[in-house]
Amino acid sequence: MLIKLKDKNKLIVDEFIFKCCIGKKGLTNFKKEGDLKTPKGTFNLGSLFYKYKADIKHSSLKKIKIKRNMGWCNDVKSKQYNKLVEISKEESLEKLFRKDYKYDLMIPIEYNYKKVVANKGSAIFLHLTKNYNGTAGCIALKKRDFLIMIKILDKRNQILIN
């Protein structure tokens, strides 16, 4: 199934149209680390990361429980750039186990993923929002919509961002 971002604020999944938000500075063909833009293109989706098991019981996606020591490396000088890592003091990273709700449910968008290029952007996710304020480059949905979406998705999904 191909998920489509439409008009910068709608995510089309099968027959559903969900309100969403994207990077604070819009879309780009030339993503750079920290530019607050969402990359354009067609990308695979990764596993479903979750904080609370009750939220994910109706999803067929591969699931990964978020642990306190998990992070996503955004250190452009690291060999682990744009990869899931254990939290360390040596690298800059995005903590996945957060005090807020944003990553209670999260799916990595596999942008800059297979052949990683430093400073081309990292930690691009589908995640949660409560207010639709712009993100740092991710796509965010309300929890109710995210829960519907993960019931529809399977491991072969791609997302088209244009």
Q: What is the pLDDT of residues 64-73, one digit of tens each?
A: 999 999 999 9
> 12-54: per-residue pLDDT in tens?
999 999 999 999 999 999 999 999 999 999 999 999 999 988 7
> 123-149: per-residue pLDDT in tens?
999 999 999 999 999 999 999 999 999
Give long-range contacts, CB 8 A cutoff, 24+ apart: 145-149.
145/16, 145/18, 145/19, 145/20, 146/105, 147/55, 147/58, 147/105, 148/13, 148/16, 148/18, 149/11, 149/13, 149/16, 149/18
Cβ atoms of residues 47 and 64 within 8 Å? yes
> 72-121: per-residue pLDDT in tens?
999 999 999 999 999 977 778 999 999 999 999 999 999 999 999 999 99
pLDDT at residue 155, rounded to an integer = 82
pLDDT at residue 91, rounded to an integer = 75
pLDDT at residue 19, rounded to an integer = 98
List, in order of start, the domains of the chain with CATH numbers: 2-67+98-161 (2.40.440.10)
CA-CA distances (angstroms) from residue 87 to 18, 24, 67, 69, 73? Answer: 33, 27, 10, 5, 9
